[in-house]
Amino acid sequence: MSERLIVIGGGGAGTAAATIAKRLDPSLHVSVFTEFEDIAYSPCGIPFVHGREIPKFEDLFLSTVDRYIADGLDMRMETVVTEIDLDRRIVTARNQHEGFDQLVICTGFTWEKPSVPGANLEGLHYVKNIRKAMEFDKLLDQVKRVAVVGASPLGVEMAGNLGHRGLEVDFIDEGPWVLSEVLDPDVAEPVHESLQERGVTLRLGTKVEGFVGDDHVRAVATSEGEVPCDIVIVCLEKQPNTALAREAGLDVGTTGGLIVDDHMRTKVPGVYAAGDVIEVPHGLTMLPIRGLTGSHAYAQGRTAAANIAGEDRVYDPVWIPWGLVGGDYTIGGFSIGETLATSIGVPYVLAKGVGVSRARYFPGATKTHVKLLADPQTHKLIGGQLHGGEGIKERCDFLAFAAKRGATLEDLAWMENIYSPPIGALFEPIAIAAQNALAELRQKDRSPEPATASSSGSDGAGAQRTPVTT
Amino acid sequence: MSRLDVVKRRLRAQAEHHLRVAAMEELRGRHPAGTKKAYQEPGALFWRGVFVPLYRRVPWTVKQRAMHALRMTAESSGWTPPARRPGEPWRPPAR
């Protein structure tokens, strides 16, 4: 008799775990339980349909339930698992018990709800489920003024897209700049400008104290006064859905996510967890973190699947390449920026440079701003942030990988790069940044003044050199 | 979740919040354009007046050792930091 694998959750981690386990071990009987009607769509694309950059929601679907069934999976749609009994190795759904040999918990996250008066009024929306987004999109045709609460990555995308749609948008956040928990203020500045060009009113350093209305919200009460609105979109923090696993006796860490090891195993043999419900260590500090991206969730699901199928697959601590479009501007980074480095007290030197995304004479060339953080003693990369137009995503992916492998400023200053006028300039912006930093550090070493390269936050680039472009 | 777990989680959240707000204020001093002072609840005198200045005086290497000793890092739950030596591909830890 074949082993039975049950996967709870149909998001990125759950679908990866189920499909890859089945592919690697076709003898497995794989059941996927999901509370939703749909599977295998891109929730990250929802803001862009609202903003009318993507024509229709149907474009976000990557596959169908029938396709998964055809691939041999037992799909339990709109089926909520209400209990896990780890001793008897059964889950309960719709009052039926289902036995498992191996289990993967991918219960994902829910958005944090504001704990202020009026949070239960009608008119407060959370972006996650595609069916609800389809209904919400019709409502957007009937309103003029939207308040977006929370300058998280989703908040930035929603504010920019609703501005693009022509709505009046008030963007409210307690932080001093958008995405202030990860982004540095110099990188946030062009995003602010781009959002404002799209008609978004930034209300930073502003606390939401409540929502005002009788049945339906009509204003947001803030520390700076009332902000009138027709609807509110709440984009606060992701909170892991751990209740089911906690009630079953699994452990939760200091971030609130489930504790797993580097094979995605919980403390119970044959029980795995992956995706937004777990915490994983940061590659630089080894401190557990959570709330990563869909690509992290998918890779964690793959790791669990490989180990279930008998491989010995390790998931590495993360260096977190990230990127998003804020207004018309692309920003990205990896690991940590100056704000986080200063916050946790990691010493760093800065490497700054500006280059272009293609040959400067080629139509469509955009400036690429690079800021790297390196260890003052070893010059190993520890983080960075970039902004500009094209090519930001690929550079952040590359830099995260380079940092994970211990690359230094010296490595990057002498890196090879593609020169092809339509797709790349002669001088790579990353190399320019590293060369600037090393030149500055050499100059400081020669000067009679004590070198400041080892002090926290010293700017290895000093005054910005004229960008060298071709 | 045990009461100790809840306390640990709250302590971490509070510590991170106040360190982050202090860092934002420092960064804002270097790049003031387009920024606004972060909203801060009144109170929290211990965190702002004692914890943040003390934490900042401790060198990073000492903090790292302390976090490791207090089992705050993920080594205690089965993770191994990959070697970061260029040219040496990382291998899974021997088991």
**CB-closest option in A342, A347, A411 to B86:** A411
The complex's ipTM works out to 0.89
Alpha-carbon gap: B88 to the closest alpha carbon of chain A (Å): 8
Decide: helix, strand or coil at residue A23: helix
Closest CA to A407 of B88, B91, B64: B88
B-chain residues within 8 Å CB-CB of A403? 84
Interface test with A, best of B77, B85, B90, B95 (most A CBs within 10 A): B77
Using 50, 70 and 90 to split pLDDT, how confident is the model at B87? low
Closest CA to A125 of A88, A105, A155: A155
Using 50, 70 and 90 to split pLDDT, how confident is the model at A184? very high
Burial category of A201 from C-beta neighbours within 10 Å (exposed 0-12, middle 13-18, buried 19 and up)? middle
Class of domain A322-446: alpha beta
* pLDDT at res. A463: 33
| Other CB atoms within 10 A of residue A437 CB | 26
**CA diameter of chain B:** 52
Closest CA to A158 of A257, A304, A68, A43: A43
**Are B86 and A180 a contacting pair at CB < 8 A?**
no
Using 50, 70 and 90 to split pLDDT, how confident is the model at A451? very low
**Is the Cα dihedral B1, B16, A172, A240 positive or negative?**
negative
User: Any CB–CB contact under 8 A between A42 and chain B?
Assistant: no
**Are B92 and A186 a contacting pair at CB < 8 A?**
no
Using 50, 70 and 90 to split pLDDT, how confident is the model at A1? low
User: Any CB–CB contact under 8 A between B93 and chain A?
Assistant: yes
- Between vectors from CA A130 to CA A220 and to CA A161, what angle results, nearest 5°? 55
Gap between the Cα atoms of A382 and A283, Å rounded: 9
So where are chain B's domains? 3-35+44-73
Instruction: For chain A, give the percent of residues with pLDDT over 70.
Output: 95
Distances in Å between the Cα of A199 and the Cα atoms of A17, A47, A218 are 42, 16, 20
B-chain residues within 8 Å CB-CB of A288? 73-74, 77
Lowest mean pLDDT among A287-296, A332-341, A459-468: A459-468
A-chain residues within 8 Å CB-CB of B42? none
User: Any CB–CB contact under 8 A between A314 and chain B?
Assistant: yes
Gap between the Cα atoms of A75 and A194, Å rounded: 43
Using 50, 70 and 90 to split pLDDT, how confident is the model at A105? very high
A-chain residues within 8 Å CB-CB of B23? 339-340, 342-343
User: Any CB–CB contact under 8 A between A239 and chain B?
Assistant: no
Fold observed for domain A124-234: FAD/NAD(P)-binding domain (3.50.50)
3-state secondary structure string across A258-299: EECCCCCECCCCCEEECHHHEEEEECCCCCEECCCCHHHHHH
**CB-closest option in A185, A206, A252 to B28:** A185
For A389, residues 6+ apart whose C-beta sits below 8 A from its C-beta are A329, A330, A357, A366, A367, A368
**pTM metric for this prediction:** 0.91
Mode of pairing for the β-strands spanning A288-289 and A278-281: antiparallel
User: Any CB–CB contact under 8 A between A410 and chain B?
Assistant: no
- Between vectors from CA A324 to CA A279 and to CA A219, what angle results, nearest 5°? 90
Decide: helix, strand or coil at residue A457: coil
Distance of CA A342 to the CA centre of its chain: 21
- CATH 3.50.50.60 intervals, chain A: 4-37+77-110+238-308, 124-234, 322-446
User: Any CB–CB contact under 8 A between A283 and chain B?
Assistant: yes
CATH 3.40.50.300 fits domain A4-37+77-110+238-308: no
Q: Which helix (H) or strand (E) holds B17?
A: helix B3-30
Two tokens, residue A128: 């996650």
* pLDDT at res. B42: 85
Going by the DSSP 8-state scheme, the letter that residue B88 receives in this structure is S
User: Any CB–CB contact under 8 A between B64 and chain A?
Assistant: yes
Find residues 10-39 of chain B whose CB sits inside 8 Å of chain A. Answer: 12, 16, 19-20, 22-28, 30-39
**Are A339 and B16 a contacting pair at CB < 8 A?**
no
B-chain residues within 8 Å CB-CB of A188? 34-35
Residue A171 CB-half CA count within 13 A: 31
List, for residues B28-65, the tens digit of each pLDDT value.
999 999 999 999 888 889 999 999 999 999 999 999 99
List, for residues B6-18, the tens digit of each pLDDT value.
888 899 999 999 9
Lowest mean pLDDT among A8-12, A127-131, A248-252: A127-131
